[in-house]
Amino acid sequence: MAAIAKAVSGKASSTVDELGRIFGLMFAVLVRIPRRPWRPRAIAEQVWFVASVTLFPALLLTLSFGLVIGLQVYNITRQFGAESAQGAAMVLAIVREAGPLGTTFMLAAAAGTAITADIGSRTVRDEIAAMQVMSVDPIHRVVVPRVVGASIAAGLMTGIVIMGGLAGGFLYSVVLKGSNAGAYLDGFSTLAQMPDLYLALAKGMVFGVVAAVIAAWRGLYAKGGAGGVGYAVNTGVVMTILALVVVNLIMTFGYLAIVPDAIQ
């Protein structure tokens, strides 16, 4: 029992230490964003890179989400005779949850792994240490453009991915099952509000920051050569997904506590 308690205590202490490093890096990044030089070209390159490797997989993922959610919503509303509510239920599920999460899950899997591998390889080759010796801030030069680029790209892609998810729901409910297209589209405005879209875009940008910071953190603390970089990549994806679920829960609870429902 003593050995188990010691192992649990050591693991808890290690987890708290890692969380402290993540929050410390996030604070360091946010502090450095307004500092010059701003390097807009590097940020634009990161936006393009993140979008190019993430957008198509995220669209496919959310399109499948839309089909599955459309199937479930169609079956439930048909049993209760509320087919006109299909569009309302779909838009809430896709806009508030599936769109932002689907986008950033793919961002973590595609772009996040590349960020970790890039920074991790620089770390194990002592390039990060060399920057510090030459009085070059590695966080400002290497991490900040990737975090800002990931946040901007995630915000932009979230809107596109939401349309893909809604198209998937429309494809199942209207095209495959023959529901009334006008009633389906009219249902979008029954429960959904403009703040729902603002929430989705805000989630996308915040999730992009979280995913990029965790990816960069895993890269900065990678050790042990190529094997250590591979381990950092794998653990970074898992940690990012868990962190996104927690942040999504917090943002959703906060939103529902502040913004009243469309139907009182």
Confidence of residue 264 (pLDDT cuts 50, 70, 90): very low
Q: How many CB atoms lie within 10 A of CB 170?
A: 21
Helices (H) and strands (E) in the chain, counts: 12, 0
Residue 139 lies in a domain: yes
Residue 92 lies in a domain: yes
Residue 213 lies in a domain: yes
Q: How many CB atoms lie within 10 A of CB 231?
A: 15
Residue 22 lies in a domain: no
Q: What would the pLDDT profile of 46-70 be if each residue is shown by its tens digit?
A: 999 999 998 888 888 888 877 887 7
Residue 216 lies in a domain: yes
Q: What would the pLDDT profile of 184-209 be if each residue is shown by its tens digit?
A: 777 676 667 788 888 889 999 999 99
The range of the structural domain enclosing residue 110 comes to 39-257
Residue 146 lies in a domain: yes
Residue 238 lies in a domain: yes
Whole-structure pTM value: 0.87
Domain count along the chain = 1
pLDDT at 80 over 70: no
Q: What would the pLDDT profile of 122-169 be if each residue is shown by its tens digit?
A: 999 888 888 888 888 999 999 999 999 999 999 999 988 888 888 887
Residue 204 lies in a domain: yes
Rg of the chain taking only CA atoms, in angstroms: 21
